[in-house]
Structure 1
Amino acid sequence: MKKTVFLVQAALIGAIYAVITIAFAPISYGEIQVRISEALTILPFFTPAAIPGLFVGCIVANIYGGGGPVDIVFGSLATLLAAFLSYKVPKKWMVPIPPIVVNGIVVGFILNYLYQVPLLAAMGWVTLGQTIACYGLGYPLIGLLERYRDKIFR
């Protein structure tokens, strides 16, 4: 039963991540982006199933995004690493930090490579977009989900 719950949670998280990213495509991709779905990167705080779920959701979203193999592979691996690190952080207020830092660096390099955006500018824009998504949307989501933790994440 536990394995089934884990798989269902991971699948749902991945699907929701991909759908939100694609639904907000105009701001989810490109040189300046605020990927609303990155608010979900707080979910490892509640369940380890979010780690593979976010990874697979990001793969699907990046396939749609048109950045090609570099973005699909390295962008998705950045999400995997960030999700794992978010799961490991010791304090709730720190949960959004790994996605902000990891994606700021990795996606900054990806945008520099794909679009020749100056590296520091790319990193800065991604970090800003991640901060908006992860702390502006994701951190309040933690508070909301904590109220229903026992019903949603068992």
Structure 2
Amino acid sequence: MTGEAPVRSRDTHYIARVGMIAAVYAAATLVTVMFLGSLAWGPIQFRVSEALCVLALFTPAAVPGLTLGCAIANIANIALSGTGMLGMLDVVFGSLATFVGASFTWKLRRRPAIALMGPVLANALIVPAYLPLLLQGIGFYTIPFTSISLDGTYPLMYLFGLVTTGLGEAVIMYLLGYPLARSLAKTPLIKRELAQTGTNR
């Protein structure tokens, strides 16, 4: 019986971390959507909340936490953006991209500069595959700040999204996320987490 209590305590703490990360990511994403509009979910994306993906450098709880937070935010965005059931593409495949990227980051956590490429590659490859279907469904695939329409040309839309989504994610992960990770690594809370997970800096 004495061995069960520590196990239950660890499980409770893990679930709590998952829930906290999910809540913070979802809230940050919705704030980003409200302030940046289509720049948070359109053909050119700068989803500032993606900087929180660096949490996967410090704890395995970030993988399900970020994935759940992404799903929650994308479900809420269905109402905000008016995408209807087409928005479920973002819920399913956007969350998949977050899961793949966070998993990559956790597995390569001892090499942060490389690990942060996980979200960049996952989003660049997965998001443009379904985004044209979603945006065409609501009659929107004009390049922001221009009158250039890419409607009806899926290969071009995918290539455009591959470049712009990848670049947008890279800007967020390396200009915002990497400094955030370095700052977090110095905090007592993260130091304790690193000690528990056996991750050295």
Name the TM-score, length of structure 1 as normaliser: 0.93
Q: Please give the alpha-carbon distance, in whole angstroms, between the structure 1 residues aligned to 2:97 and 2:32.
A: 20
How many residue pairs get matched? Answer: 154
Between stretches 107-116 and 140-149, larger displacement belongs to 107-116
Q: Aligned runs of 1:59-138 on 2, under 5 Å?
A: 59-66=71-78, 67=83, 68-89=87-108, 90-116=110-136, 117=150, 118-138=157-177
1:143 aligned to which of 166, 182, 193: 182
Cα distance in 1 between the residues matched to 2:21 and 2:130: 24
Contact 2:58 2:193 in 1 (8 A): no
Q: CA deviation at 1:109?
A: 1.0
Aligned partners of 2:50, 2:133: CA distance in 1, in Å? 22
* Greater Cα shift, 98-107 or 2-11: 2-11
The one-letter code sitting in structure 1 at the alignment partner of 2:58 is F
Letter in structure 2 aligned against 1:13: I
Structure 1 portions without partners, runs of 5+: none
Structure 2 counterpart of 1:114, which letter?
A: L
Which position in structure 2 is the counterpart of 1:20?
28
Moved more, 47-56 or 61-70: 61-70
- Distance apart, 1:150 and its partner CA: 2.4
User: What per-residue deviation string (whole Å, max 9, x for no partner) do you get for residues 9-29 of structure 1?
Assistant: 111111111111101111322
Q: In structure 2, how many angstroms separate the alpha carbons of the residues matched to 1:78 and 1:46?
A: 19
Greater helix content = 1
CA RMSD for the aligned pairs? Answer: 1.6
Q: Which has the larger radius of gyration?
A: 2
Residues 61-83 of structure 1, C-alpha deviations (whole Å, 9 max, x = no match): 11122251111111101111111
- In 2, the alpha carbon distance for the partners of 1:8 and 1:23 equals 23
Shift of residue 95, structure 1, vs aligned partner: 1.9
In the TM superposition, residue 152 of structure 1 has moved relative to its aligned partner by 6.3
CA contact (8 A) 1:83 1:99 kept: yes
CA contact (8 A) 1:13 1:50 kept: yes
Structure 2: segments with no counterpart, 5+ residues: 1-8, 137-149, 151-156, 197-201
